[in-house]
Structure 1
Amino acid sequence: MIASLYSHRRPVAVVTGGAGFVGSHLCERLLADGLEVVCVDTFETGRMDNIRHLLSHKSFSLVEHDVTMPLDLPHAQVAEFYNMASPASPPMYQRDPIRTLKTNVIGALNVLEFARSTGARIFQASTSEVYGDPQVHPQPETYWGNVNSFGPRSCYDEGKRAAETAFFEYRAKYGVDVRIARIFNTYGPRMSPEDGRVVSNFIVQALRGEDITVYGDGSQTRSFCYVDDLVRGIVALMRAPVAPTAPVNLGNPGEFTVLELAQLVISMTGSVSRVVSRPLPTDDPRQRRPDISRAGELLSWQPEIALPVGLSRTIGHFRAELDSRDSANALLVAL
């Protein structure tokens, strides 16, 4: 597979975590932009179904590799490197906290070494989780955060914070061109039904007619960015003529309570589900909303897809996937 990479003499973009929810949409966009795309993934949380439609594309290559090990890819022509490698939902990153920490910290060092050796411009997918349970609202990039360094979410929160440090140290010492986005809650097609985040949980529960589980009283707030808007922001940040000297928030500043989201999903799916309360998890943020002033000023970027529009598309995705699974299960039973 590696020997066949870069065969069309176009600029190359490498996407680690490229079979993930956001990574697969990013691969699709980069191919549409005329780049050769090398998708790197371990398929621990990424899914082959997310990229299956890309496998026959003449400019797409797939490499199964773990970023906690140094990358062994041909160096020539790599222009853009997007580090999207990491589980992003609490159930997935809490499954193996040490591995999550290694992926975010050792993985960051390995991709930075690759970028240093190739001269590639490199993007890091950081997260709004670096703000922890914020005491400033909305959250600007200048806010240092309120993070529990040894709580159940810290493997991800602190891993991403350490990765940001590594990126800016490589910039300072080696002159690597780094771009960092702090990504807020993102949703859309290709999320896994087992993802574990609030949008996917609510939609799957509603479509199955199950109780919709709201943690706490549902008054905690979130801001939801549709995946197409996020990908557009990521590409704009990567291709900005001058690298920002600090991270840039990417997210939708529209703010909704978790209970409002549950009620909207029930209404849009026509579900008979009822809302039930569960205890609030430890360190679950009470408020989360991005200040995207910097993204507007530096990138002329703002989200365009309203929540009901994005939810409609996402519900369609989940409905089709669940129907497909039900059909496959029925066939197995019949056999």
Structure 2
Amino acid sequence: MERQKYLVTGGAGFIGSHLVDALLARGEPVVVLDDLSTGRLENLATAREQRHFQFVHGSVLDASLVDTLVSECGGVVHLAAAVGVKLIVEEPLSSFIINTKGTETVIESAHRYGSRIMIASTSEIYGKNSSGPLKETSDRVLGSPSVPRWSYSTAKAVDEILAELYRREHGLRSTVVRFFNTVGPRQSPAYGMVIPRFARQAVRGEPLTVYGTGRQSRCFLHVADAVEALLSLIDLPDAVGETFNIGSDEEISILDLAERTIACAESTSSVRRLSYSEAYGPEFEDMERRVPDTTKLRAFTAWQPQRNLDDVLADAVADARSEMRQQVGGLVVEGPANGEAGNPAVQTVLAGPCSV
């Protein structure tokens, strides 16, 4: 029997590339759409060796391209987005457009062809709500619309609202997943992700930069466990029309996380504190605590994380050491725009007006 083909937008990114590998391992044909602005072709090195894999270089803002690809696939996983605190703060307008218009484009095509769609959202939805653990029905607490920090949360809320309204009025078969601090191999520190940044600072013997007081707490889930959660939901009929938190409940302060990373790396690094205003500008706001309640996900799928924070940190440190060895050895790591020529698995098309 012919297996269902999946379109994964943003599939050259961190979570996307791991999901692509998992789908291919199940025997599912996969098409990836990514403009490589934050994703990397090297993340798809294993996938590109597979016969049932296709890469398309393009943007989710290219409506014609998206429509063509969705028409050829029975399922869509929409992961393409502008992500990371650093990117959102530095480029709020383009990030907002990508995260709203891009999702609208993909949803419209999924509706047109009756495709099942999974839409990636974020724990940022909850804004400054520092109570916890946070359920899918917990209130959103946001700062002023004039503060760019909250534009990402608002954009992803628009995505969720679009999915829900299309479901109610047009029968869209959608599922929303909210990621809480997913971490693991292939994650770049370039966009403000704390564990990759800490790991690279630790293996280099540099001070680990802690923003704010360091007392703010977070939970970190290994990407392999996040992908297992996605796979448990992707074909589940009961998941249609539902929203699920995906995260760990192992809570730690950022200051303690820094010390634990130093210990894991057996590093001589110190810890340096930096105010939020120094790091991101005077308007930046953050939340003190963010812990997910994953009761709903567990009830629907019996999913349980198989890896703890020690596993997360060990992989992050190993990743940072591997990167440092490549740099010391003079190896050139394939960048987002490199490595396309001569590979039959790569199809280059005209990108849309904005990056993804």
Give the TM-score taking structure 1 as reference length: 0.92
Which residue is 1:24 aligned to?
17
Matched, 1:128 2:123: yes
CA distance in 1, matches of 2:329, 2:189: 16
3-state DSSP of counterpart to 1:73: helix
Residues 169-227 of structure 1 show CA distances to partners (whole Å, capped at 9, x for unaligned) of 11011101000011100100001142421101111111111111111221110000000
3-state DSSP of counterpart to 1:23: helix
3-state DSSP of counterpart to 2:153: helix
3-state DSSP of counterpart to 2:46: helix
Q: CA RMSD in A?
A: 1.7
3-state DSSP of counterpart to 2:276: coil
Cα deviation, residue 244, structure 1: 4.8
CA distance in 2, matches of 1:160, 1:93: 12
Indicate conservation of the 8 Å contact 2:173/2:240, yes or no: no
- Where does structure 1 lack aligned partners over 5 or more consecutive residues? 1-7, 331-335
Cα deviation, residue 144, structure 1: 2.1
Which residue is 1:44 aligned to?
37
> Residue 45 and residue 35 in structure 1: after superposition, are their counterparts in 2 closer, same or farther (change >3 A)?
same
Indicate conservation of the 8 Å contact 2:200/2:320, yes or no: yes
Same amino acid, percent of matched pairs: 33
Matched, 1:228 2:212: no
Indicate conservation of the 8 Å contact 1:78/1:118, yes or no: no
> Residue 74 and residue 40 in structure 1: after superposition, are their counterparts in 2 closer, same or farther (change >3 A)?
closer
CA distance in 1, matches of 2:250, 2:202: 23
3-state DSSP of counterpart to 1:29: helix
- Where does structure 2 lack aligned partners over 5 or more consecutive residues? 278-283, 333-356
Q: What letter is aligned with 2:160?
A: E
CA distance in 1, matches of 2:273, 2:90: 23
Cα deviation, residue 65, structure 1: 1.4
Cα deviation, residue 49, structure 1: 1.3
3-state DSSP of counterpart to 1:122: strand
Q: What letter is aligned with 2:293?
A: D
Matched, 1:115 2:110: yes
Matched, 1:211 2:207: yes
CA distance in 1, matches of 2:27, 2:2: 11
CA distance in 1, matches of 2:327, 2:33: 27
Matched, 1:33 2:35: no
CA distance in 1, matches of 2:13, 2:331: 24
Which residue is 2:78 aligned to?
83
> Residue 74 and residue 82 in structure 1: after superposition, are their counterparts in 2 closer, same or farther (change >3 A)?
closer
Compare 92-101 and 68-77 and name the one that shifted more.
68-77
Give the TM-score taking structure 2 as reference length: 0.87
Q: Identify which of structures 1 and 2 has the higher relative contact order when contacts are C-alpha pairs closer than 8 Å and 6+ apart.
A: 2
